[in-house]
């Protein structure tokens, strides 16, 4: 193990630098040190860079999506040993508090979003993972890093959105936003047996990607058709049984509740930058349910099981792959959606 | 059966008249005619009088809360016959459509709020009840009209609010608003086994009424104490597991979500006159659930069973009683909360 | 419409005759008369023939699985008119009683299994269907009779078994019995997102049929392998999260509970001819849930929607097709599983 | 702290001795040592004495129901410190395994029934409690030992039985067996809002105790009345929505399923000494659900909260109280139900 490593460090608003850092060591008996085998870049990394995440600490290595191999574990780690292949959970949680016991791990009294935000993350070569027994999931033998990389963040986010939406067999589900999390929401919505998933976006190529991969059954380009009319056409005039809102804009918020049939469920998983207007008088009697919030990533083991069983496949999301040496270029093509980029996989530094 | 009767007729905004009308007759084979034994006045009647209910039709007898005796039934009525004692459901519904089959009877494709709004109601002597098999509930022998009068409207409204709130044994429930529906929400919340119910209002006498009747365990007067602090004191700093908002104001809406613990449920049953601001960025990660809407009164039979079994008691809500002759006086004391008035029971016209 | 038709008539134990009968007419305003477009033969028809169904009435035309076209409706039928293409529900139910309102339609106080058991069924040319609004489901334009024929009986039976089993995304489900209902249980189990479905039977060709059609992920031939060992291998030594027992034998009953992990659910949908031994002391602490019974066919509309949406496909079950003229031959090949027979589709009589 | 203490030791079938033992010490960092403030005697203690509990180890101090004060904690104990007042959980569990995460703590891979069975229990002066963070619950200031003593075993057993029974507001619940666990099942069934609880037993005084304390609404003495008839009288001829079987005999098993209405739930929490006959052909179409097993004591904190909030009260169960010096006499009166004995509270040894 060398003593230095390269990583993307956040130095304050607008200031990301790819630079040399010390390799981390065990600080707490529940820690594990993981050698990063594959990592990725998330929209949240831009939110930090833009200064929009108040809890983010300057001088921190970014990145919270990764898989790799354990190189060291603290004395209190029970489930893992060096050599184990693992994928990480974006959330750090104790597993024992009031919230964790109920599956609300992102409200853990001891945890939350730490990796790549408040402590060094994974856009580098080695990572210290706190409370490793909860923060890491073993990778089954028949899977490789590309199979499970999305389990860190966007697959559980999509699952969370789909689970909240209370989908039943035979339902019609509308998903607003054909970005990475919209896609994983569609895949996961499928697990609940709906009759159809209707994807909604403003870009044909994004919708067609969902159709081509079998994630959606119908695509509506809002610039060409009224999605409310399309959804009603498929539901005998009622509206969608469940709506998953992944776009996070004022228009998409208003569209979400209008798409839902009376007594339907609207799952608001997007991160909104503005307060929203809830027109309760206009929707009186429609008896809608709104579920708000960020991912509760407590189902990662189950998601890995489903990938291993061939029931979920996030590999098509990885459109680009490059070594850590080129990560700043990866930031650019991901941010600008260049070359059809959906997600970038970062492989180890090449010396 | 006389040919004329007296009733409170809505003649347009601000214009209520107590006047003579024809006694109704069967118009559809599913109809029943009920002689009103006891009726009541609801806040919604003022909404109609004030012109705030667009669907309300002028020249209609008001009133949707009543119990009485059946005097005639249409050929298609299966459950009832003349002489049966019944209490009415505020909602008319078919029982067969997509929504009714799921228990969403207030979104019935054929029904909704008709009685005392779009067709003649009960603040009179006889009422024609459409789809009587669904719109009426038989009164058990051991109960009288005063026992069941609240089953028409405010008891199912309170039950709906409590049921939506997903209360579990041991939970802490906050109820905002100590009016008639707030009280029934508390009674019904009790059915789900919470450790405590915290009532919130601005008037001591309203809160003390809830405590005295055993509907609430704790009362907070918002003019004297911060309810958020009180709720946290009882919940190890977390907040209420469930919040039922019955006040319908901007402040009460904002208070509602702040009272809830992370991953809690907020049941918004009040009728709001204004759009509300939903501060999603401020509550991001709190993962709250909001359930909105008006009563789905499909559990009236069960509520009558619970009253018959001694498990619910709404009699204390009836603070005043007078014959139909004096109903306009009843409107006044109910509207102005004179003399501690909570609900007024109207007995038959005295000739 | 001719005045006579041909049909399979049960004349008492062991006595089935293919003979001439009168064409039925409307007897009750809720009736519809359907011209049979396609029908099938069910194992239950043999149970009747063998005298094992006490409620079955001699002199009754058999058959309860069919699709066809409406030729006449009674005055009280609301949803259908002559010319409508429909598929029938094996169960007759009122939709209004205590049980029907809760979805327990096979315990309807007015209904139960009538068609082809207590009143004339469908192995003929015309059928009178009571309470047609509940007993028939409209066939969408894009589907033909072969698509929906299994909706009458074995698809809802499989769905009922799968729904009772409380399957969650990522679960491992074991299905005992690779007959027609075992296959539909597997298809429907898939709707709940399990990681894998393990099919168990004593015949390789039956298991391979499930694998080939993608209904099961793993097949265990109990004559070659211990299914308990196989299931444990896939579940980290725990056992199946859910077990659906479709074989109905003493051995399969005992196998069912042994396959389940602690706190698992065992769905016992098979019709048992013998009382079973429940070894509570041996399973003490395992905390199993057993759900027993026959189909509650209240989800037929949803199943048709899923077929129309391409999410369920029962066509592969129809291995043989022949006109009504040859139905007695159909009985033989179905009973003896000749020529790989799974289900026989009977087309109209050819004159 | 003295070095020796007195306790009830199991020395093999039929051989209990009240004798001197060493005071326990911390053996594992997750241990706590508790000075027993109050303990009790359970029917299970007789099962051990009678040789009917194969896992029980000779030379073990009996007893698993107790409250007391912590005198020492291991390094890994996070929630407690010496001086804390606590009540113990009969079950030892890790809180981290597949089963514990789902609330199935009695199937914990590391735990199960240890205290007073496989390791020294509480019918003595000091106890070593393994995995103390899960095995102990803090006693609120406003409660004393008598308030919470039943939280160790029979209150969670009753809660488990009631929770499994899927009781809804307005339901009718039948509880077979008016012993200590029958009583706690009734109290806990009340938390789910049933319209009535019907207690069934063969002894008037046991039933009257349930009525007097408000735990049951109706009592049926099976020697005088047919409980099936009584239950039908209260349920419009249908049967109980939920049945909780706490008697554990052949007759009570058969009675349980006959008491249930179609599609009802039967909760079998009793410990049966014999296999039971499940007459599936006779109950075909009744679609019953059977839930079997022993307590999953994962809700103890909630039960303490409900006691603190005045919503549960088990004090009436403690009919006798005596110091540890007299515990062998306590065994006698408890076993023989002398002097109306329901539960015996054992106070500290008096020197």
Q: What is the pLDDT of residues A124-164, one digit of tens each?
A: 999 999 999 999 999 999 999 999 999 999 999 999 999 99
Domain map (residue ranges) of chain D: 4-153+296-347, 156-292
Cα(C244)–Cα(C171) distance, integer angstroms? 13
| Angle separating helix axes D180-190 and D204-212, nearest 10 degrees | 30
The answer to whether D191 and D162 have CB atoms below 8 angstroms apart is yes
According to the model, what pLDDT value does residue A300 have?
A: 96
- CB–CB of D170 and B303 under 8 A? yes
Cα(C227)–Cα(C221) distance, integer angstroms? 8
Question: In terms of pLDDT, which residue wins out, A112 or B156?
Answer: B156
Cα(B327)–Cα(C105) distance, integer angstroms? 46
According to the model, what pLDDT value does residue B67 have?
A: 98
According to the model, what pLDDT value does residue A2 have?
A: 59
Q: Which of D143, D158, D168, D170 is the best substitution to test chain B (most B C-beta atoms within 10 A)?
A: D170
Burial of B251 (0-12, 13-18, 19+ CB in 10 A): exposed
**Residue-wise pLDDT tens digits, A208-253:** 999 999 999 999 999 999 999 999 999 999 999 999 999 999 999 9
Q: Tell me the average pLDDT across C184-195.
A: 98
Residue D102 confidence (pLDDT) above 80: yes
How would residue D179 be classed by pLDDT, with cut points 50, 70 and 90?
Answer: very high
**Residue-wise pLDDT tens digits, D55-98:** 999 999 999 999 999 999 999 999 999 999 999 999 999 999 99
**Residue-wise pLDDT tens digits, D8-52:** 999 999 999 999 999 999 999 999 999 999 999 999 999 999 998
What ipTM is given for this predicted complex?
A: 0.95
Residue B1 confidence (pLDDT) above 70: no
% chain C with pLDDT above 90? 93
Q: Which of B156, B192, B195, B233 is the best substitution to test chain D (most D C-beta atoms within 10 A)?
A: B195
Residue D306 forms contact with B (CB below 8 Å): yes
The answer to whether A86 and A67 have CB atoms below 8 angstroms apart is yes
- CB–CB of B290 and A286 under 8 A? no
Cβ burial C308-343 (10 Å sphere, 16+ → b, else e): bbebbebeebbebeeebebbeebbebbeeeeeebbb
Topology at the third CATH level for domain B4-153+296-347: Quinone Oxidoreductase; Chain A, domain 1 (3.90.180)
Residues in chain D: 351
- Whole-number average pLDDT of chain D: 96
Q: Chain C window 105-134: which residues touch D at a Cβ cutoff of 8 Å? A: 106-107, 112
Cα(D249)–Cα(C179) distance, integer angstroms? 37
% chain A with pLDDT above 90? 93
Q: How close, in Å, is residue B29 to chain C by CA atoms?
A: 12
What are B304's two structure tokens?
Answer: 């009558």
List, in sequence order, the alpha helices (H) in chain D. 43-49, 98-101, 132-135, 145-148, 154-164, 180-190, 204-212, 227-234, 250-259, 300-308, 327-335
Tell me the C-alpha to C-alpha distance, in Å, between residue D65 and each of C136, D44, D115, D137. 59, 11, 9, 13
**Residue-wise pLDDT tens digits, B47-84:** 999 998 889 999 999 999 999 999 999 999 999 999 99
What is the CB neighbour count within 10 angstroms for residue B6? 18
Q: Please say whether the structural domain A156-292 has been given the CATH code 3.90.330.10.
A: no
Chain D: list its partners (3+ Cβ pairs within 8 Å).
Answer: A, B, C
Residue D2 confidence (pLDDT) above 80: no
Chain A hits for B290, Cβ within 8 Å: 278, 289-292
Cα(D272)–Cα(D270) distance, integer angstroms? 6
The answer to whether B39 and B125 have CB atoms below 8 angstroms apart is no
List, in sequence order, the alpha helices (H) in chain C. 43-49, 98-101, 132-135, 145-148, 154-164, 180-190, 204-212, 227-234, 250-259, 300-308, 327-335
Cα(A4)–Cα(A22) distance, integer angstroms? 5
- CB–CB of D290 and C287 under 8 A? no
According to the model, what pLDDT value does residue C233 have?
A: 97
Residue C294 confidence (pLDDT) above 90: no
Chain A hits for D96, Cβ within 8 Å: 78, 95, 133
How would residue A295 be classed by pLDDT, with cut points 50, 70 and 90?
Answer: confident
Q: Tell me the average pLDDT across B206-224.
A: 97
Distance of CA B187 to the CA centre of its chain: 13
- CB–CB of D193 and B190 under 8 A? yes
Q: Tell me the average pLDDT across C189-209.
A: 97
Q: Tell me the average pLDDT across C70-78.
A: 96
Chain A hits for C305, Cβ within 8 Å: 170, 195
Residue A1 confidence (pLDDT) above 80: no
Residue D291 confidence (pLDDT) above 90: yes
Residue A96 forms contact with D (CB below 8 Å): yes
Residue C2 confidence (pLDDT) above 70: no
Q: Tell me the average pLDDT across B216-235.
A: 98
- Whole-number average pLDDT of chain C: 96
Residue D95 forms contact with A (CB below 8 Å): yes
Q: Which of D114, D237, D278 is the best substitution to test chain C (most C C-beta atoms within 10 A)?
A: D278
Residue D263 confidence (pLDDT) above 80: yes
The residues, ordered by sequence, that sit 6+ positions from A118 with a Cβ below 8 Å of its Cβ are A55, A56, A57, A60
What is the CB neighbour count within 10 angstroms for residue C101? 17
The residues that bridge with B291 in the sheet, in sequence order, are: A289, B267
According to the model, what pLDDT value does residue A11 have?
A: 97
Q: How close, in Å, is residue B196 to chain D by CA atoms?
A: 6
The answer to whether A92 and A131 have CB atoms below 8 angstroms apart is yes
How would residue B2 be classed by pLDDT, with cut points 50, 70 and 90?
Answer: low
Q: Tell me the average pLDDT across C205-217.
A: 97
What are D269's two structure tokens?
Answer: 């929490």
Q: Tell me the average pLDDT across B305-311.
A: 96
Residue A156 φ/ψ region, left for φ over 0, alpha for ψ in the -120 to 50 degree band, beta for the rest: alpha
According to the model, what pLDDT value does residue B294 have?
A: 85
Q: What is the DSSP string of A206-225?
A: HHHHHHHTTS-SEEEETTTS
């Amino acid at each position: 193990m060398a003593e230095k490593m390269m990583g993307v460090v956040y130095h304050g608003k607008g200031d990301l630098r790819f630079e040399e850092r010390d390799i981390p060591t065990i600080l707490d008996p529940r820690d594990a040190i993981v050698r990063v085998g594959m990592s990725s870049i998330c929209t949240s990394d831009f939110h930090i860079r833009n200064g929009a995440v108040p809890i983010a600490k300057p001088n921190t290595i970014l990145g919270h999506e990764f898989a790799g191999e354990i190189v060291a574990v603290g004395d209190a780690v029970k489930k893992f040993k060096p050599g184990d292949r693992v994928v990480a959970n974006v959330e750090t949680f104790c597993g024992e508090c009031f919230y964790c016991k109920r599956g609300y791990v992102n409200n853990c009294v001891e945890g939350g979003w730490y990796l790549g935000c408040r402590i060094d993350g994974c856009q580098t070569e080695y990572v210290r993972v706190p409370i490793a027994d909860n923060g890491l999931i073993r990778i089954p033998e028949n899977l490789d890093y590309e199979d499970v990389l999305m389990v860190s963040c966007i697959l559980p986010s999509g699952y969370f959105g789909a689970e909240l939406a209370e989908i039943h067999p035979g339902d019609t589900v509308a998903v607003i936003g054909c970005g990475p999390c919209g896609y994983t929401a569609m895949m996961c919505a499928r697990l609940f047996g709906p009759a159809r998933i209707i994807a909604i976006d403003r870009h044909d190529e994004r919708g067609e990607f969902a159709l081509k991969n079998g994630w959606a059954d119908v695509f509506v380009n809002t610039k060409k058709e009224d999605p409310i009319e399309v959804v009603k056409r498929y539901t005998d005039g009622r509206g969608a049984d469940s709506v998953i809102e992944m776009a996070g804009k004022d228009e998409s918020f208003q569209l979400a509740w209008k798409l839902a049939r009376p007594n339907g469920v609207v799952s608001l998983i997007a991160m909104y930058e503005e307060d929203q207007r809830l027109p309760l008088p206009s929707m009186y009697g429609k008896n809608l349910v709104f579920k708000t919030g960020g991912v509760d990533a407590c189902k990662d083991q189950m998601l890995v099981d489903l990938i291993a069983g061939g029931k979920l496949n996030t590999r098509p999301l990885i459109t680009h792959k490059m070594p850590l040496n080129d990560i700043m270029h990866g930031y650019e093509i991901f941010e600008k959606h260049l070359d059809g980029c959906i997600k970038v996989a970062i492989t180890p530094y090449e010396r």
